[in-house]
Amino acid sequence: MSKYQFEICANSIESCLAAQAGGADRVELCAGIPEGGTTPSYGEIAVAREVLDIKLHVIIRPRGGDFLYSPIEIKTMSADIEMARKTGVDGVVLGCLTATGDINMPVMKELMKAAEGLSVTFHRAFDVCRNPQKAMEEIIDLGCDRILTSGQQATAEAGIPLLKELHAQADGRIILLAGCGVNEENIAHIASQTGIEEFHFSAREKRISEMQYRNPAVSMGGTVQIDEYSRQITTAERVRNTIAELATSDWR
C-alpha cells in the first residue's frame, strides 16, 4: 500500500468520477474555481456522495476574495457545514483570517465545533497569513487534520523551501497537503525535496463545448470575459499519470 495520498480538486461530479477512476484517494469538491473555490450546491454535494466510493471533502467558502468574514458569512459557513454533514461527506475544507493576517481563532473554534466528527483541512488561506510558523501551531491547536498549502508561493514547486521547513516543524502532528500547480512533471521533485506525502492537484484538460450556435456578443459574466464555450475537466488519465510518476520515480 502506498504511503502517499492523492486528493483531486474537482470542479464537477464529472471530475469527481474521473478522479476516482484515475486512482485518487479523495476529492475536494468546489464550485467557483476561477475564484479559488467556493461552496458547491447541495445537489452537487449530494449526488457526488451518491456516486463516489472514495472520500469526499467539500470546501466551505461563501465567496471569493479574502478570508476576513462578516458575522453573516460565518453563520452561512456554519449552515453549509451542517448541510454537507447531512449529505454524508467525509470532511470539510475551510479557513478564516483576521484583518492583520493571523488565524481567526474565535471564528475557527466556532466552525471547528460545527464540523465536529468530520475531517477538517485548513485551506490556502494559510498561504496569505502573516506568520506561517505561528499559524501552523495555532491550526494544530484547533485540531485540524491537515493544511493545504503551496508554501506561500504561486505554486507548490516554487514553495518547496517553506514546505520543507513546515513539514519538519509539523513533525507528524498535522498533515501537510502540497497543492497548486502539482502535476506529473513535478510531483516527484516536490516529494523528494520536502518529505510531504499528501498531494492536491486538478489534472484537468480543456473540453470544447458542443454548442453549434454561439452568440459572441453576449457574455454571461458581463464585463468579466471568460471562454464560455470550453470547460476544464479532470481526466482519469492525467490523475493516473501523476500518481504513477510518483510511484515509479527513482529518487527514493
User: Bridge-partner residues for 228, per DSSP?
Assistant: none
pLDDT tens for 110-138 read 999 999 999 999 999 999 999 999 999 99
Cell numbers representing residue 80 in the block: 453549509
* Confidence label for 1 from pLDDT (cuts 50, 70 and 90): low
Amino acid at the residue 235: T
User: What distances in angstroms separate CA 98 from CA 75, 125, 126, 147, one per listed residue?
Assistant: 17, 11, 12, 18
Q: What is the 3-state secondary structure (H, E, C) of 157-200?
A: CCCHHHHHHHHHHHCCCCEEEEECCCCCCCHHHHHHHHCCCEEE
Q: Between 16 and 1, whose confidence is greater?
A: 16
User: What distances in angstroms separate CA 249 from CA 54, 125, 128, 141, 166, one per listed residue?
Assistant: 25, 31, 32, 35, 24
Residue 41 has what pLDDT? Answer: 97
Q: What is the 3-state secondary structure (H, E, C) of the chain?
A: CCCCEEEEEECCHHHHHHHHHCCCCEEEECECHHHCCECCCHHHHHHHHHHCCCEEEEECCCCCCCCCCCHHHHHHHHHHHHHHHHHCCCEEEECCECCCCCECHHHHHHHHHHCCCCEEEECHHHHHCCCHHHHHHHHHHHCCCEEEECCCCCCCCCCHHHHHHHHHHHCCCCEEEEECCCCCCCHHHHHHHHCCCEEEECCEEEEECCCCCCCCCCCCCCCCCCCCCEEEEECHHHHHHHHHHHHHCCCC
pLDDT tens for 230-246 read 999 999 999 999 999 98
Residue 228 has what pLDDT? Answer: 86
Residue 89 has what pLDDT? Answer: 98
CATH of the domain at 235: 3.20.20.380
**8 A C-beta contact, residue 143 and residue 112:** yes
* Confidence label for 249 from pLDDT (cuts 50, 70 and 90): low
Domain housing 233: 5-248
Q: Is the pLDDT of residue 216 over 90?
A: no
pLDDT tens for 54-107 read 999 999 999 999 999 999 999 999 999 999 999 999 999 999 999 999 999 999
- Helix axes of 71-87 and 105-114: crossing angle, nearest 10 degrees: 30
Residue 252 has what pLDDT? Answer: 53
Number of domains making up the chain:
1
Whether the full predicted model's pTM is greater than 0.85, yes or no, is yes
